[in-house]
C-alpha cells in the first residue's frame, strides 16, 4: 500500500494497478516530444511576440514549465487541441527559483534563454530524475565562451554578460542539454558560433527549427557541427512539435512484450530505426508506414545485446523498457549503459516482479524467465516507471506501481492509451485512509 502521513492523516498515494497477460491490439497515437517541448517552451522566452506551440504533450513537465513562465510574467494559454500560446513580450524577470524549477531537470534551458534575451540569468539548479550526477559543466563552459561570467551560490547559477559574442565551442561529449542551451544563447549573440561534437538527437533539430521560425539563423542541427549566426531580436511564430520518439518506442516495446499487434501512429519511423532493428532481431515483425509502425509479436522472443549511445545509437531513454522486455526472452541478454553512470536503480523493482538480472557497473545481464509475477513496485524515475508498466503488462496477476508522478512527467494519459489497446490498467487516486 502506497501512503504518506500528512498532519497525522494517512494518505493513499496515486498508483497504477495493472492486471497482466492481456494481449494488446489496436492503435496508439503518439504525443509531441517531451524532450523537444521542454526546450521549446523556454526558447519562447526569447521571442517578442506570440508563439503558438502545437502537438503539445499534456505532461507534468509542460505544466511545470508553463507555471515558471507565468511566474516571470509571460502570458500562457492552453487552447485545447493540444496547443499552447506563449507571449513573452512583456517579461522583465530573468530569475527562476528552486521552488519553481525543482520538479524538472530541463529547467536548465531557462539559463540559455534568459541569457540570450537579457544577457543575465539566475536559475536554481535543476531537479528531475535522479540517475547519478548530472553535471552541467559543458553548458557553463559554452556560456563562458560566449562571454558570460557565472557563479554558483546556494544552488543558484547566476550568469551575466556585458554582451554575448559568437565563439567556437568543442563539447567534451555530445551533450543534448549543452548543445541546446548554447544554441539558445548563441542565437542572440553577436557574430557566429560553431558548436562542434554537438548532439544530434531529433529534439535538437526540432529546437533549431523552432528558433529559426522565430528568426534565428541556425544551420547544421542534426549533424555534429552546428553554426549559429546571432540576431538581435526574435519574433513570434507557430510551430508543431515532432512526435515523441521515446513514447513511441515505449509502446512498441509494450506490444512486443504482450504478444500483440499494435500500430503506433503519428511518429517519424526513421527516429525509431535503432529500436526497430532490435525488435526485429529478437523476433518481432515490423511493418512501416509513412507515419506509423505496426509491431506484431508472438511473445516468443530471442535474447540480444543492447548498447546505449547518443543518437543515432540505441537511446538510453529506452534502456529500462528494453531490459523489462528482455526479462521475457528465451536466454541471456546483455545491456550496456554508456550514457548515464547509474541508470539501473529500477532493476531491484524489476526483480520484485521476478526478473533475473545482475548488474555490474554499467552492464546488466538479463536471464530470461518463464513468467514474471505481479507485485507492488515503485517507479524510481520516468523511464524506470515505463519499464515497470511494460513488465506489469506481461506479469501474471496484479502489479501496482507507485510514484506515478514520475511517469506523468513524460507520458500523456498512459493508462488511457494502454486501455485503448486492450490492457487492463487503472489509476487509483489519492485519498485519505485515516
Ligand atoms: N554530461 C556532462 N556534463 C554536462 C552535460 C552532460 O558530463 O555538462 C554528461 C552526463 O552526465 C551524461 C552525458 O553527458 O553522462 C549525456 O548527458 P546529456 O547532457 O546529453 O543529457 P541531458 O541533456 O541532461 C537529455 C534528456 C535525457 C536523456 C539524455 C541523453 C532532456 C530534457 N533530457 O538529458 O532524457 O537521457 O539527454 O539522451 O532532453 C528522459 O527523457 O527520461 C531523459 C532523462
- Residue-wise DSSP of 174-190: --HHHHHHHHHHHHTSB
Q: Is 12 exposed, middle or buried (0-12, 13-18, 19+ CB in 10 A)?
A: middle
Cell numbers that stand for 134 in this block: 548530472
Residue nearest to atom 19 of ligand 1 (CA): 175
CA 264/CA 273 separation, integer angstroms: 14
Determine the distance separating the centroid of ligand 1 and the alpha carbon of 372, expressed in angstroms.
Answer: 31
Residues with CB under 6 A from ligand 1: 35, 38, 105-106, 129, 134-139, 173, 175-178, 199, 316-317, 339-340, 382-383, 410
End-to-end CA distance of the chain: 13
Phi, psi angles (nearest 5°) of residue 59: -130, 165
Residue nearest to atom 4 of ligand 1 (CA): 136
Q: What is the pLDDT of residues 168-205, one digit of tens each?
A: 999 999 999 999 999 999 999 999 999 999 999 999 99
Calculate mean pLDDT across residues 49-77. 95
Q: What is the pLDDT of residues 292-304, one digit of tens each?
A: 999 999 889 999 9
331: Cα within 13 Å, side-chain hemisphere: 9
Calculate mean pLDDT across residues 401-425. 96
Catalytic positions are 129
Ligand 1 atom having least distance to the Cα of 315: 38
Model pLDDT, residue 5: 67
pLDDT(102) > 80: no
Least reliable range by pLDDT among 39-53, 120-134, 183-197, 369-383 = 120-134
Laid out side by side, the sheet with 225-229 consists of: 168-170, 192-196, 225-229, 217-219
Determine the distance separating the centroid of ligand 1 and the alpha carbon of 177, expressed in angstroms.
Answer: 6
Phi, psi angles (nearest 5°) of residue 64: -65, -45
CA 310/CA 316 separation, integer angstroms: 8
pTM of the model: 0.96
Calculate mean pLDDT across residues 45-66. 95
Calculate mean pLDDT across residues 249-268. 96
Model pLDDT, residue 299: 81
Residue nearest to atom 11 of ligand 1 (CA): 134
Question: Mean of the per-residue pLDDT values for the chain?
Answer: 94
CA 295/CA 285 separation, integer angstroms: 6
Amino acid at each position: 500500500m502506497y501512503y504518506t502521513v500528512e498532519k497525522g492523516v494517512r494518505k493513499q498515494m496515486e498508483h497504477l494497478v495493472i492486471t497482466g497477460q492481456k494481449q494488446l491490439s489496436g492503435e496508439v497515437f503518439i504525443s509531441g516530444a517531451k524532450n523537444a517541448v521542454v526546450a521549446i517552451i523556454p526558447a519562447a522566452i526569447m521571442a517578442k511576440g506570440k508563439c503558438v506551440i502545437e502537438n503539445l504533450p499534456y505532461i507534468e513537465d509542460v505544466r511545470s514549465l508553463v507555471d515558471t513562465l507565468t511566474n516571470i510574467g509571460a502570458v500562457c494559454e492552453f487552447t485545447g487541441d493540444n496547443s499552447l500560446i506563449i507571449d513573452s513580450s512583456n517579461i522583465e524577470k530573468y530569475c527562476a527559483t528552486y521552488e519553481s524549477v525543482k520538479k524538472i531537470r530541463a529547467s536548465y534551458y531557462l539559463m540559455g534563454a534568459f541569457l540570450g534575451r537579457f544577457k543575465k540569468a539566475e536559475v536554481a539548479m535543476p531537479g528531475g530524475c535522479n540517475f547519478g550526477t548530472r553535471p552541467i559543466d559543458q553548458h557553463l563552459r559554452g556560456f563562458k565562451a560566449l562571454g558570460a561570467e557565472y557563479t554558483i551560490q546556494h544552488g543558484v547559477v547566476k550568469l551575466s554578460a556585458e554582451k554575448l559574442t559568437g565563439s567556437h565551442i568543442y563539447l567534451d561529449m555530445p551533450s543534448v542539454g549543452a548543445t541546446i542551451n548554447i544554441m539558445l544563447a548563441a542565437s542572440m549573440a553577436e557574430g557566429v558560433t560553431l558548436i562542434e561534437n554537438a548532439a544530434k538527437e531529433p529534439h535538437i533539430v526540432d529546437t533549431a527549427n523552432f528558433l529559426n521560425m522565430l528568426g534565428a539563423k541556425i544551420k547544421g542541427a542534426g549533424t555534429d557541427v552546428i553554426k549559429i549566426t546571432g540576431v538581435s531580436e526574435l519574433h513570434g511564430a507557430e510551430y508543431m512539435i515532432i512526435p515523441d520518439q521515446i513514447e513511441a518506442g515505449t509502446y512498441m516495446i509494450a506490444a512486443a512484450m504482450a504478444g500483440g499487434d499494435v500500430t503506433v501512429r503519428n511518429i517519424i519511423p526513421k527516429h525509431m530505426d535503432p529500436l526497430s532493428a532490435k525488435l526485429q532481431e529478437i523476433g518481432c515483425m515490423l511493418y512501416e508506414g509513412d507515419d506509423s509502425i505496426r509491431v506484431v509479436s508472438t511473445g516468443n522472443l530471442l535474447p540480444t545485446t543492447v548498447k546505449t549511445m547518443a543518437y543515432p545509437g540505441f537511446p538510453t531513454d529506452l534502456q529500462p523498457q528494453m531490459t523489462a522486455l528482455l526479462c521475457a526472452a528465451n536466454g541471456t541478454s546483455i545491456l550496456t549503459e554508456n550514457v548515464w553512470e547509474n541508470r539501473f536503480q529500477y532493476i531491484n523493482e524489476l526483480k520484485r516482479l521476478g526478473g533475473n538480472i545482475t548488474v555490474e557497473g554499467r552492464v546488466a545481464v538479463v536471464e530470461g524467465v518463464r513468467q514474471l509475477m505481479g507485485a507492488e513496485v515503485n517507479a524510481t524515475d520516468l523511464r524506470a516507471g515505463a519499464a515497470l508498466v511494460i513488465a506489469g503488462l506481461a506479469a501474471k496477476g496484479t502489479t501496482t506501481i507507485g510514484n506515478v508522478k514520475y511517469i506523468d512527467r513524460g507520458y500523456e494519459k498512459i493508462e488511457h492509451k494502454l486501455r485503448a489497446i486492450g490492457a487492463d490498467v487503472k489509476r487509483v487516486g489519492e485519498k485519505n485512509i485515516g
